[in-house]
Amino acid sequence: MTTGDSMHRGGSESTRGPSLGRTVSEGILGAHAGVDARAGDIVVCRADLILGTDGSTPMAIQYFEAMGGKAVPDPERVLLARDHYSPPTSPSTRRFHARMESFAAEYGVELLPVGGGISFQVAMETGRVIPGDLVVGADSHTVTCGAMGAFATGIGSADLAAALLTGKVWLKVPESMRVVLDGELPRGVGAKDVALEVVREVGSDGAAYRAIEFVGPAADALPLEERMVLSNMSAEMGAKAGIFPVESDPAAHFADELRVDCSALNPLVALPHQPANGVPVTDVVGTPIDWVFLGTCAGGRAHDFRDALEALDAGGGIAADVTMVVTPPSPRVRAALEADGTLRRLAAHGAVITETGCGPCCGTSDPVPPPDARIISTANRNFRARMGEASAAIHLASPATCAAAATAGRIVDPREVV
Amino acid sequence: MTSEIRGRARRLGERVNTDYIISSSRKKETLDPHVLKRWLLEEVHPDFATSVEPNDILVADEAFGCGSAMEVAVTVVLAAGIKAVVAKSFSRTYFRNAINNGLIPVECDTSDIGEGDLIALRLGEGGVVVLNEATGSKIQARSLPPFTLEILQAGGLVPYMRTHGGYPEEAT
């Protein structure tokens, strides 16, 4: 079976007219701008939550100062994280952190410590995001918060500076597309596989400038932690937001619709060097792998690491000559994995457990993979040089598929291991 | 008000992501775009950084600037003396980072434009027109929303904020 068999695609018949219906994006952005917002409008919105990372905030501080910033009017709405350089490995990255420390102290905003976790995951875990919120973050994977029914989107450093200065952000109200997840996930197929399938079908810019609303019985059945994977990888389709609506308005205008029959899905592997290069795992069984990475904002929930451990246990541990790196993305996940012994048992298999944060996903924290590494990772991006080593080939897959590959030193069908 | 930008087309392909424009591992050492520009586009065009000249115009296909939202991928292009990028489409984060820094993002069909072609971008009330002086073709680009033009005309979000002290109550 090819994964394409499970897909049906068709545009919505409705045209822009005097429809009373609103997409979730029109509703949330309109409410935060105080206007009747429709797709295509530019609106200035007050954000409920403003996120920054050590990858983006040092530059935002430069912009903030250049804008003449003297105060942050809504400090309680701001959360800054030291997640990309966790820990900092050079004098310059330590300076970035120092700069954030003095900014946070001066303006009274919360700055998470090194090891304090990935900004938006911590925001969700600590109850700072509720349905209907507008979340902006200077991290393209801020879209993850859409799993909560919020409109959450990535912004740049100048946007972050202006948001710190004014509490506001300018946004173009996006058109929306619906992704309808039908059926039920078969055994051995997880949210990451669904996400890779949707990205494959939509393409790496197929949802550009658009918001996605994930609906349908399989979407409804996904727990919040699994919804986060699909919202997270909305960024890999160019989407502005990836929302699991509390309520999707059938009278709203959708620019496009994609249906996925989840019952027909296989585990997927995205081949180098694009997240949209997904193929059924059965097509690439035997591909040599010598470096395995578990973690990140895509594959970083406690159950992901437990799934991986289960596959490692079932497959007899990590194969000789395979390096496995494990990075918990938040203190809460780390604590859960320490409490139930998952981290200790992964370490006993020989996995390298790093400091909490983004880990080696984008080459900002150690360890950097060696030259010509053949990598399989639970991350969301596999661009060339993404992990800081241009000669590495990065495959993306679910935690179970990644761990199964670690046991064999090559890609295997995880359903035959667990 | 009409203005024109003329320069040599520097041709790139599709899906040039921000890590290809400037590797995120490079920004570990500095955020200064005048330092970072020596690694501009090193992954996709190893000779680019040494051959780029002021007023060159980047020309690309679909999804220019996809991937990470990192803003150095815009400032490094400006530091190289490039004032505009013409592409079939942009990632939304690159598009807004470009506007916010005064780099002009022009969205149009670029099939006709080849490496080294002399092109002129005419920015006026009626939108942006791209003239390819090498082939004589004239391409109408997608118009920019008025509010984004205001930010561009101010030179980016920093001068905009310095002038206005904040956002307008309602934008258009």
* Residue contact A385–B25, C-beta within 8 A: yes
Whole-number Å distance between alpha carbons of A245 and A213: 7
Q: Are A307 and A399 in contact (CB under 8 A)?
A: yes
The torsion defined by the Cα of A351, B23, A374 and A380, in degrees rounded to 10, comes to 70
A334 with A346: CB under 8 angstroms?
Answer: no
What pTM was estimated for this model as a whole? 0.93
Q: Report the distance separating Cα B30 and Cα B79, nearest Å.
A: 14
User: Residue B97 is nearest to which of A67, A156, A390, comparing CB atoms?
Assistant: A156
Residue A16 has a pLDDT of 43
Q: What is the CA radius of gyration of chain B?
A: 15
pLDDT at position A6 over 60:
no
Please determine, for residue A336, whether its predicted confidence score (pLDDT) is greater than 60.
yes
Quickly tell me which residue has 């701001």 as its tokens.
A78
Per-residue pLDDT of chain B (172 residues; tens, 9 = 90+): 568 999 999 999 999 999 999 988 888 889 999 999 999 999 899 999 999 999 999 999 999 999 888 999 999 999 999 999 999 999 999 999 999 999 999 999 999 999 999 999 998 777 899 999 999 999 999 988 899 999 999 999 999 999 999 999 877 6
Q: Which of B171, B21, B166, B39 has the alpha carbon at shortest distance from B98?
A: B21
For residue range A367-400, list pLDDT tens digits in order.
999 999 999 999 999 998 899 999 999 999 999 9
Structure tokens at A144: 């993850």
Q: Residue A8 pLDDT more than 70? A: no
- How close A415 comes to chain B (CA, Å)? 31
Which residues have a Cβ under 8 Å from the Cβ of A219 and sit 6 or more positions away? A179, A180, A181, A227, A230, A244
H or E stretch including A201? helix A191-202
CA angle A247, A251, A255 (to 5 degrees): 95
Please tell me the distance from the alpha carbon of residue B147 to that of residue B129, in angstroms, as a whole number: 19
What confidence tens digit (pLDDT) does each residue in B22-70 have? 988 888 889 999 999 999 999 899 999 999 999 999 999 999 999 888 9
Q: With a CB-CB cutoff of 8 Å, which residues 62-101 of chain B face chain A?
A: 62-63, 66-72, 74, 89-93, 96-97, 100-101
Strand partners, B104: B84
Residue B27 with chain A: CB contacts under 8 Å = 55
CA pair distance A413, A179, nearest whole angstrom: 27
| Other Cβ atoms closer than 10 A to B143 | 13
- For residue A142, which of A39, A50, A219, A207 has the smallest C-alpha distance? A50
A154-177 tens-digit pLDDT: 999 999 999 999 999 999 999 999
Contact list in B for residue A58 (CB cut-off 8 A) is 31
For residue A19, what pLDDT is reported? 54
| Summary mean pLDDT of chain A | 94
User: Does residue A141 carry a pLDDT above 80?
Assistant: yes
